[in-house]
Structure 1
């Protein structure tokens, strides 16, 4: 899917940035209690009524397969949601671990005559490809009704292709957050930065205190695309962001040069990266988080950039979110702070009563509330009680997402064809890994990005 004009204005990005800045205050304010009541169904508001549940058919004997790339705690928590579906319907559900890019994985399964019933697709571009291949099936009336009841129009729109609804965004992500080791900041007398200039000053203060400032998960190219998108959105602005996302301007555009040059102010300083550039390129995302929050006040790094789901990995350490592990919004590089979102959509591949029932369940607040309580998860479903989220940080992030309505920008690489924006070792992922390896090669990086983008957008793959 490509950008919807109804959700693309400079004002909307600014509004959500302000909301998120307030949302990341780590101590709950007194007004939050009343807001929680409005959203948890104990008052009027938008919350679902206490005890209400989505109506599901009995599916005794039915067996379903659900494919997703989720691993570790994320997979384990989702399986608990599937277990509730089994309990309510009598169906049995098997989770099928998929590999990135999931479109290639699904292609192999379908070619072998064994497609899963439902797939969780992490990119609008992947949904479009699934429709183009005639793999995806439109949502049935029950799923549509549940989706329309619980989701803003913007979240509905990004699951559409050709005007038909194919995806239910079960999971969302706020991708404009920087998490930090609170003890390291305290020892360095470092402040939470508001601007890019402030971020560089904070990094220097941390470095001077004897701790490496940043952990960068360079082994996972998707984290590098997220870094770029935040810098680019804030610096170049929403209009340019949308143009680049749709490849209506080239990656050789001066605005891309400016963003890469800005990124190089951090990526180009070996002493600012845990393990230097070579170490960063060998660091996978989970390790980038855990090495920031283990080792007391002498960890391998002080800060790690990534989305709200970082909390799942923090949970694998002894650090506590809100005290040991704190967070600030990605600093403003231009006039306003960036707000980038992502998500995973449930898409039906085998159009059966059972598959449609599962997607209906995933569109309901019932399913999302189960996973919200387990932590490390954010739902765009506006009828999930805010009180379901397990800590003040997550509750405030959830409030900000729902309060934003349709006012967000979706992850740029996720909007691209998977060959460019979603494949390990190819396209943007590889090009930015190469740039991390040699941050002085701005022009060469731009040329490679444009070559790969032109090939992928031209083929639609």
Structure 2
């Protein structure tokens, strides 16, 4: 994500129909407003740009509809495509930016703030953020001491989803650590089940693998140092994480389609390969958002599909995640009111009930989530508080951490093809990161 890498479904057939519907979504002028003063924004149209399509787009539509009913405003969702930063830059330079955009990369907030492309949040929005969100989420939305972003969507990326029957048939239990994970994978393979669907065709999924291994193995402090490029990507800790990944990635028989298949597999297809009617693998590493896509198969989350925390490679298990922040490209009444609404548990509940979503809003009652799996995942994010680790690739400029066919995505795809190339991969990552930070 963004490229938000909790955004699993991109460009599906469902998305096409959904976007047509979303183009006109919003308040009916005859609606009676909610309890915030009625139709305070009647006649106002608010354009919101976001990457979400498919199941996620449908979830966000519920938020837009709730805002329209409450205020009388008409909302228009503009799809950004995978490269949100590039899309918005083009709109801004063309003099037609949306009112609000959802940024799936924390690093882009700092980039856009520096260029003067986004507006500081108003005092009421900031007050609501301080009341309902942990300090770490406020900090993620802050650049140069000013709050520009309100994190509306969070994600727990330290999860492995598995098909219950595959584990039952092989007689295995969810592992707690990396050694147990490697053993589980081997046992599944020995039992005749392909263990993993690795969606290497979406480079962001591979960054998630790396970050989870690195966070636990190198520790929180090293993780934060590498996130800020305070240590180099050629650091021994990076190479050790790559070697650990190679314990799995170097075994083509562990992956659906082998190494070549894994490098072309997209996340939506990986979900189907694990949970569809004709499964081809037993599990996949994926954020909580996968639940919405599993629901589109014949499997049921909570029974057929379960999760376990990403196995720890060090003393503590990782808690890595990401998020989408709402930012204002236009400072007007409609934008400010929409941002205020997004800061409320009411807005979060509108999507939470639909599934495939986690809110960083600690005021949201967990009962709004549709099943125990999603409640547990959401609770883990909230309980992490200020120890929550943001997706490292999203903390870098998009040229390194969020561009298809370039930077970290491409380097890890190449590493998946050749897991023996530890030194060359580390050197390439360092070169790309340095270049992106200088541009």
Which residue number in structure 2 is paired with residue 269 of structure 1? 251
For 1:337 and 1:94, locate their aligned partners in 2 and report how far apart those are by CA, in whole Å: 41
Paired with 1:154 and 1:55, the residues of 2 have a C-alpha distance of 32
Q: Against the structure 1 CA distance between its residues 373 and 53, is the aligned structure 2 distance closer, same or farther, given a 3 Å change threshold?
A: farther
Alignment of 1:181-220 (within 5 A): 181-220=163-202
Unaligned runs of 5+ in 1: 1-51
Deviation of the 1:142 alpha carbon: 2.1
State yes or no: 1:333 paired with 2:310.
Answer: no
Instruction: With a CA cutoff of 8 Å and minimum separation of 6, indicate the structure with the bigger relative contact order.
Output: 1
Q: 1:321 is paired with a residue of what secondary structure?
A: coil
**2:193/2:281 contact within 8 Å kept:** yes
Residue by residue over 1:201-228, the C-alpha shift from the partner in whole angstroms, topping out at 9 and shown as x without a partner, is: 1001111111110001111111110100
Contact 1:54 1:364 in 2 (8 A): no
Quote the residue 2:5 is aligned against. none
Are 2:407 and 2:432, in contact at CA under 8 Å, matched by a contact in 1? yes
1:409: Cα distance to partner? Answer: 1.1
Distance in 1 between residues matched to 2:336 and 2:237, nearest whole Å:
44
**Alpha-carbon displacement from aligned partner over 1:132-187 (angstroms, at most 9, x marks no partner):** 12111011122122212211111111100111111110000011000001000000
| TM-aligned CA distance change 1:54 to 1:184, over 3 Å | farther
Residues 374/90 of structure 1: CA separation in 2 closer, same or farther (3 Å cut): same
- Match in the other structure for 1:355: 335
1:103 aligns with 2:85: yes
C-alpha distance in 2 between matches for 1:71 and 1:436: 28
Q: Does 1:131 align with 2:113?
A: yes
Partner of 1:228: 210
- Is residue 406 of structure 1 aligned with residue 372 of structure 2? no
CA distance in 1, matches of 2:217, 2:383: 24
Distance 2:55 2:312 in 1: 32
Q: Does 1:70 align with 2:38?
A: no
Contact 1:54 1:361 in 2 (8 A): no
How many pairs are equivalent? 406
**Counterpart Cα distance in 2 of 1:193 and 1:309:** 22
Tell whether 2:136 aligns with 1:165. Answer: no
Q: 1:421 aligns with which of 396, 401, 424?
A: 401
> C-alpha root-mean-square deviation of aligned residues, in Å?
1.4
Are residues 1:121 and 2:77 paired?
Answer: no
* CA distance, structure 1, for counterparts of residue 298 and residue 135 of structure 2: 40
Q: Structure 2: 5+ residue runs without aligned partners?
A: 1-33
Instruction: Find runs of 4+ consecutive structure 1 residues off by over 3 angstroms.
Output: 52-57
Q: TM-score, normalised by structure 1?
A: 0.86
CA contact (8 A) 1:179 1:304 kept: yes
| 1:319 corresponds to | 299
> 1:206-252 deviations in whole A, cap 9, x for unaligned?
11111110001111111110100000111111111111111111111
Offset at residue 91 of structure 1 (A): 1.2
Deviation, 1:405, is 2.3
Q: 1:110-140: CA deviations, max 9, x gaps? A: 1211101101001110111111121110111
Q: 1:212 to 1:54 in 2, by over 3 A?
A: farther
Tell me how far 1:259 sits from its aligned partner.
Answer: 0.6
> Does the Cα contact within 8 Å between 1:65 and 1:117 map onto a contact in 2?
yes
Question: In the alignment, which residue of structure 2 is the partner of 1:390?
Answer: 370
Deviation at 1:419, TM superposition (A): 0.8
Q: TM-score, length-normalised on structure 2?
A: 0.90
2:381 is aligned with 1:438: no
Q: Is the 8 A contact 1:214 1:304 kept in 2?
A: yes
SS at match of 2:184: helix
Paired residue for 1:11? none
Q: In the TM superposition, what is the alpha-carbon distance from 1:339 to its structure 2 partner? A: 1.0
Q: Distance in 1 between matches of 2:35 and 2:268?
A: 35
